[in-house]
């Protein structure tokens, strides 16, 4: 039986629109290295002040994601998406004309609210699908494609001529165009109705602590990697690599991210979830070691390619694990909240560590977070009844 014909949420148009909306919600995070670098040069900011730009953006992102569990299934999803695009693009466009640091922080927080609406909505839609592991992979793939294009084009054609304001205006325009995808979203999901109808019978039988533990591990893991990602441009600059070359390397890195997400979408649960998580963490540890050593532009591009690839490969399975543990179907929408918590904490801690201990402190912090996250995921997969492996792929 063709589930796509009966259920619009599994249709190709819905998955495509959701992936585009998610890409818009993730765009600022993906271009964070060059955005913070451009902001630091434009406003003469140190690393800690630059880190606070990212944190203010993700505070807005977090606030809306935390509240999403109460409202995201109550409103027309097309109107929700349109509101998110308006706040995100409008906030970035307004920030382009601001030179006062405190006002810039406020507008970045406003933009973060818009991005949080979009990203949270995308997570909610994918959580309602029949094959979340695979569709999370497709969602992440779309994010990497958009991010890679921006990282490649902005330093070469925009920032070099119009600086930080030009970057913000260009990104705002691109995101506004992506907002056209809102028309292909369904107006409502399905898990909210199903969960509500069954919650009275199952509330006393279902334990929710594994879901919260998985969300915590997701946050810690993401905090370490987002802290490293936020300052990877600065790390490369310290090695004497020029801005244009860094932009190209980061763009190439997001191509790796796209391939990692594609691998997750293609393989699905063929190897379970534990093996992909162990594999990705091992490669991330190798990347941290390379970043902590002397490297040239070629090695930087290659290591960043691996960094982005294995991060996104593993992330699809991390989010899929949360969905599989959420038997009631009401907590997986918090994935975006805990990712944003990690994105807030990570760059802020990274900036402070760099200021106090240099980049060595950042590398140690990132290594500890990914090992901790992997340990919790492994415990949940082996002890909490989460699926570890399947015999075959699910059908698209």
pLDDT digits (tens, 9 = 90+) for 57-68: 988 988 898 888
Q: State residue 162's pLDDT score.
A: 94
Residue 301 neighbours by CB under 8 Å, 6+ apart: 248, 249, 252, 253
Q: Per-residue pLDDT averaged across 181-208, rounded?
A: 64
Please check the confidence at residue 253 and state whether its pLDDT lies above 80: yes
Res. 288 pLDDT band, cuts 50 70 90? very high
pLDDT mean across residues, the chain: 86
When mean pLDDT is compared across 5-9, 83-87, 101-105, 174-178, the lowest value belongs to 5-9
pTM (two decimals): 0.78
When mean pLDDT is compared across 18-32, 219-233, 329-343, the lowest value belongs to 329-343
For the chain, the three-class secondary structure string (H helix, E strand, C coil) is CCHHHHCHHHCHHHHHHHHHHHHHHHHHHHCHHHHHHHHHHHHCCCHHHHHHHHHHHHHHHHHHHHHHHHHCCCCCHHHHHHHHHHHHHHHHHHHCCCCCHHHHHHHHHHHHHHHHHHHHHHHHHHHCCCCHHHHHHHHHHHHHHHHHHHHHHHHHHHHHHHHHHHHHHHHHHHHHHHHHHHHHCCCCCCHHHHHHHHHHHHCCCCCCHHHHHHHHHHHHHHHHHHHHHHCHHHHHHHCCCCHHHHHHHHHHHHHHHHHHHHHHHHHCCCCCCHHHHHHHHHHHHHHHHHHCCCCCHHHHHHHHHHHHHHHHHHHHHHHHHHHHHCCCCCCHHHHHHHHHHHHHHHHHHHHHHHHHHCHHHHHHHHHHHHHHHHHHHHHHHHHCCCCCCCCCCCCC
Q: What is the pLDDT of residues 337-374, one digit of tens each?
A: 898 788 888 888 998 999 889 999 999 999 999 999 99
What number of CA atoms fall less than 13 Å from residue 380's CA on the CB side?
Answer: 31
Q: Per-residue pLDDT averaged across 252-280, rounded?
A: 87
Res. 282 pLDDT band, cuts 50 70 90? very high
Q: State residue 257's pLDDT score.
A: 85
Res. 206 pLDDT band, cuts 50 70 90? low
Q: What is the pLDDT of residues 110-155, one digit of tens each?
A: 999 999 999 999 998 988 888 887 888 899 889 888 988 898 889 8
Q: What is the pLDDT of residues 319-337, one digit of tens each?
A: 989 988 887 777 887 888 8
CB 20 within 8 A of CB 178: yes
Q: Per-residue pLDDT averaged across 47-54, rounded?
A: 83
Nearest to 178 by CA among 157, 153, 149: 149
pLDDT > 70: percent of the chain: 90
Please check the confidence at residue 202 and state whether its pLDDT lies above 50: no
Q: Per-residue pLDDT averaged across 181-205, rounded?
A: 63
- The two structure tokens encoding residue 2: 């063709």
CATH topology classification for 9-188+206-383: Growth Hormone; Chain: A; (1.20.1250)
Q: State residue 330's pLDDT score.
A: 72
Residue bearing the bigger pLDDT, 244 or 2? 244
Q: Is 163 left (phi over 0), alpha (psi -120 to 50) or beta?
A: left
Res. 19 pLDDT band, cuts 50 70 90? very high
Res. 194 pLDDT band, cuts 50 70 90? very low
CA 363 to chain centroid, in Å, comes to 20
Provide the Cα torsion 219, 225, 229, 230; round to 10°. 40
């Amino acid at each position: 039986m063709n589930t796509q014909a009966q259920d619009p949420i599994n249709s190709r148009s819905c998955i495509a629109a959701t992936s585009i909306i998610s890409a818009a919600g993730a765009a600022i995070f993906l271009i964070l290295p060059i955005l913070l670098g451009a902001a630091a040069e434009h406003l003469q900011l140190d690393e800690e002040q630059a880190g606070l730009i990212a944190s203010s953006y993700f505070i807005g992102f977090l606030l809306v994601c935390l509240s999403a569990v109460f409202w995201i299934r109550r409103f027309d999803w097309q109107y929700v998406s349109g509101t998110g695009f308006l706040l995100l693009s409008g906030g970035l466009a307004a920030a382009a004309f601001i030179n006062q640091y405190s006002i810039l922080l406020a507008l970045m927080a406003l933009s973060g609210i818009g991005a949080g609406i979009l990203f949270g909505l995308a997570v909610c839609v994918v959580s309602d699908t029949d094959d979340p592991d695979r569709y999370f992979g497709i969602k992440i793939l779309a994010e990497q494609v958009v991010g890679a294009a921006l990282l490649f084009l902005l330093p070469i054609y925009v920032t070099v001529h119009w600086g930080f304001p030009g970057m913000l205006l260009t990104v705002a325009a691109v995101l506004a165009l992506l907002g056209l995808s809102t028309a292909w979203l369904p107006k409502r999901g399905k898990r909210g109705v199903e969960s509500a109808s069954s919650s009275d019978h199952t509330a006393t039988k279902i334990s929710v602590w594994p879901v919260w533990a998985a969300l915590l591990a997701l946050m810690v893991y993401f905090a370490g990697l987002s802290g490293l990602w936020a300052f990877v441009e600065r790390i490369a600059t310290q090695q004497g690599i020029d801005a244009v070359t860094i932009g190209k390397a980061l763009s190439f890195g997001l191509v790796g991210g796209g391939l990692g997400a594609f691998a997750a979408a293609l393989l699905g649960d063929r190897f379970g979830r534990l093996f992909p998580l162990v594999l990705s963490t091992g490669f991330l540890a190798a990347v941290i070691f390379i970043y902590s050593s002397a490297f040239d532009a070629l090695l930087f591009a290659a290591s960043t390619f691996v960094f982005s690839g294995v991060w996104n490969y593993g992330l699809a399975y991390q989010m899929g694990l949360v969905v599989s543990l959420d038997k009631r179907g009401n907590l997986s929408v918090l994935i975006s909240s805990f990712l944003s918590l990690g994105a807030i904490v990570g760059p802020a801690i990274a900036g402070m560590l760099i200021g106090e201990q240099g980049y060595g402190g950042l590398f140690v912090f990132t290594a500890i977070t990914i090992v901790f996250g992997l340990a919790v995921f492994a415990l949940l997969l082996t002890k909490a009844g989460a699926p570890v492996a399947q015999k075959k792929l699910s059908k698209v």
